[in-house]
Amino acid sequence: MLLVMETLINFILLGVFFLLFGIYGIYNTVVARKNQVENAFGAVEAQLKRRRDLIPNLVEAVKQYMAYEQDLLKRLTQLREQAEKAQGEERLKAEGELSRVLGQVWARLEAYPDLKASGNFLQLQAALTEVEDSIAAARRFYNQAVTDYNNVLEQIPFAFIARAMGLTRKSVFTIPEEERAAPNLGELFGR
Amino acid sequence: MSLVELEAARKRALLLSGVFFSLGGALILLLGPLGPFLGVPLVVLALNQISAFPKKAKQALVAPLAEALGFRYWADRGFSEEEILASGIFHSPDHYHAEDLVEGEVNGIPFTSSHITLYRKVEEVYEDRKRSYYQVFFSGVLYRFRLPFAVEKEVRFAPPGSGRGAYTNKRLEQVVLESPEFNLFFQVYGEDQVEARKLLTPRVQEALVELIRHLRTAIGGAVRGRDLWLAVKAVKGRERFPKPPILLPVTWTYEAWKARYQDELSKASRVVEILRLEEEAKRRGAFLGGSEAS
């Protein structure tokens, strides 16, 4: 009888040990996923900052050539300052608008062959292209991190720990509605 | 060397090897204890004739085809051990062999390729006896493309299940990409998650899958600085540039194998084409008089 009791207690203790070990592993996984999302968002922010830092150089390089686009360049500068000062959702909105206006600037460049021949401008354009690639890559990283995080939130047994920690689903980066629509070429080329 | 000259060399080698074999064999049989001392060197000379001709013929047949494509070819040269290890794809071998070096440029992108065979020493104990032998752990073609743009952080990709493999760079972390099809063929490690994704865009992932389908074998690779390394595993039993056999006329083997030699020589061009390296370089502004924007 005593032996049976002792064996039972040992099994229970072993079970508790494995349960605690399991909870430890699950908790660490949830925390790792959450931190990866924050890490990925930081990567996106860093690339957006790099782009904002290049915009004054761009405006300076093109303003002498693009004499008829002063309004567009002014808007670019304003958006850059807005994005710099804003936080959270407002900043993302401003960055989205900045992407759209930058797209308009590139489209209007076709009318200024002198500018396109400038070595300085070409180097700047290459730098901005590289930054846009980095932004796209950082967004993909963020989306992957959010997908992994959301999966962990909804899968058993991670969901129990995640709910206990008060964690909620996050949204991935999506293309804004205006970018999903077909481009208005008339507006783009200023006609 | 023309085909006619090569055919004459083949006949000469065959004749000489026949004479040396016969002479050597006769001396061994007829001169008793002295026989081997005189006969064996002749047999060795005969074997030398037989083994030297195919290598010479391969150089003579493949080099002009390479030149026609604007490349250079050396049958008896290959990557050095330092170069092989510089790719970071392989563990340090206990023994290696490299041959069939091809150098050239495709659409402004210089490349070098070589067939390499890497061996590790295996020691085992069998019935209280220790024995050791060399086991092949990689045989295939290693390509190095010198990119006109630099990649800041190291990225490596290999067949799934390779794990970190020979990646001794401790800063490498696993990068999980979006394409399920790509993930079937490759496992990716990178120094930076963003830089790895910048290089391995959905288009490049698709291109690498297309490359595997085109080459029909496993591929591993690495990108670091300005070098793109691709290790293409050899299809079993298939040599990169098969050596013409000494017993068959050279003209016969040339006609039979010319297409295969040309196909093998064009693989570097196919890689540049499929991966659209030139387009990628232009997009990054890498052909702006040699300078890259920072």
Burial environment of residue A130 by CB neighbours within 10 A (0 to 12, 13 to 18, 19 or more): buried
Rounded CA gap, A134 and A45, in Å? 11
pLDDT band at B165 (very low <50, low <70, confident <90, very high): low
Query: What's the pLDDT tens digit per position in B237-271?
Result: 778 898 888 888 888 888 888 888 998 999 888 88
Buried b (16+ CB within 10 A) or exposed e, A144-160: bbbbbbbebbeeeebee
Q: What is the pLDDT of residue A122?
A: 81
Given an 8 Å threshold on Cβ–Cβ distance, is B288 in contact with A133?
A: no
**DSSP labels for A120-154?**
HHHHHHHHHHHHHHHHHHHHHHHHHHHHHHHHHHH
- Decide if pLDDT at B63 tops 80: yes
Per-residue pLDDT, averaged over B275-290, amounts to: 69
Whether residue B294 has pLDDT greater than 50: no
Strand, helix or coil for residue A8? helix
The residue-averaged pLDDT of B203-216 equals 90
Nearest neighbour of A140 by CB, restricted to B197, B289, B293: B197
Q: What per-residue confidence (pLDDT) applies to A185?
A: 55
Report pLDDT for B289.
42
Task: Find, among B294, B24, B226, B238, the residue nearest to A130 by Cα.
Answer: B294
Taking CA atoms, A94 is separated from A85, A88, A91, B248, in Å, by 10, 10, 5, 74
pLDDT one digit per residue (tens) for chain A, 191 residues: 888 899 999 999 999 999 999 989 999 999 999 999 999 999 999 999 999 998 888 888 888 777 777 888 888 888 888 888 888 778 878 888 888 888 888 888 877 777 777 777 888 888 888 898 899 999 999 999 999 999 999 998 888 888 888 888 888 887 665 555 555 555 545 54
**Is there a contact between B104 and B70 (Cβ–Cβ < 8 Å)?**
yes
DSSP letter for B288, please: B
How many Å apart are CA B28 and CA B32, to the nearest integer? 7
Sign for the CA dihedral angle at B1, B2, B5, B7 comes to positive
- The C-alpha atoms of residue B153 and residue B175 are separated, in whole angstroms, by 13
Query: What pLDDT score was predicted for residue A179?
Result: 54
**Does residue B75 have a pLDDT over 50?**
yes
- B35-39, B153-157, B179-183: least confident range: B35-39
What residue of A is the nearest CA neighbor of B177? A144
Mean pLDDT confidence for B116-124: 92
pLDDT of B291: 38
Residue (of B167, B234, B178, B169) closest to B204 by Cα position:
B178
Helix-strand-coil split of chain A, %, nearest 5: 85, 0, 15
Q: What is the mean pLDDT of the segment spanning B50-73?
A: 91
* Chain centroid offset of residue A93 CA: 12
pLDDT at residue A181, rounded to an integer: 54
Residue at token pair 């990866």: A36
DSSP A190: T
Put simply, whether B153 touches A (Cβ < 8 Å) is no
User: Which secondary-structure segment (H or E) carries B102?
Assistant: strand B95-106
For residue B284, list chain A residues with Cβ-Cβ distance below 8 A.
Answer: 126, 129-130
- Does the distance separating the beta carbons of B194 and A141 come in below 8 Å? yes
Question: How many residues comprise chain B?
Answer: 294
The confidence band for B141, taking pLDDT boundaries of 50, 70 and 90, is very high
Tokens of B230: 């691709």
DSSP sequence for A19-61: HHHHHHHHHHHHHHHHHHHHHHHHHHHHHHHHHHHHHHHHHHH
Q: Which residues contact A51 (CB under 8 A, 6 or more apart)?
A: A98, A128, A131, A132, A135
| B148 class by beta-carbon count within 10 Å (0-12 exposed, 13-18 middle, 19+ buried) | buried
Q: Do residue A126 and residue B178 have CB atoms under 8 angstroms apart?
A: no
* Nearest Cβ partner for B284 among A129, A138, A141: A129
Other Cβ atoms less than 10 A from the Cβ of A119: the count is 10
User: What is the Cα–Cα distance from B218 to B233, expressed in whole angstroms?
Assistant: 6
Q: For residue A133, which residues of chain B lie inside 8 Å, CB to CB?
A: 198, 201
Mean per-residue pLDDT of chain B: 87
pTM score: 0.81
> Does the ipTM exceed 0.95?
no
| CA separation for the pair B28, B43 (Å, rounded) | 10
Higher pLDDT, B52 or A117: B52
Closest to B166 measured CA to CA, from B223, B222, B215, B124: B222
B293 has a pLDDT exceeding 50: no
- Check pLDDT > 50 for residue B292: no
What confidence score (pLDDT) does residue A151 get?
92
Q: What are phi and psi of A126, to 5 degrees?
A: -60, -40
Distance of alpha carbon B38 from alpha carbon B271, whole angstroms: 53
Helix A2-62 and helix A119-154, axial crossing angle in degrees, nearest 10: 160
* Residue B159 and residue B185 in contact, taking contact as beta carbons nearer than 8 Å: yes
Chain A residues lying within 8 Å of B279, measured CB to CB: none
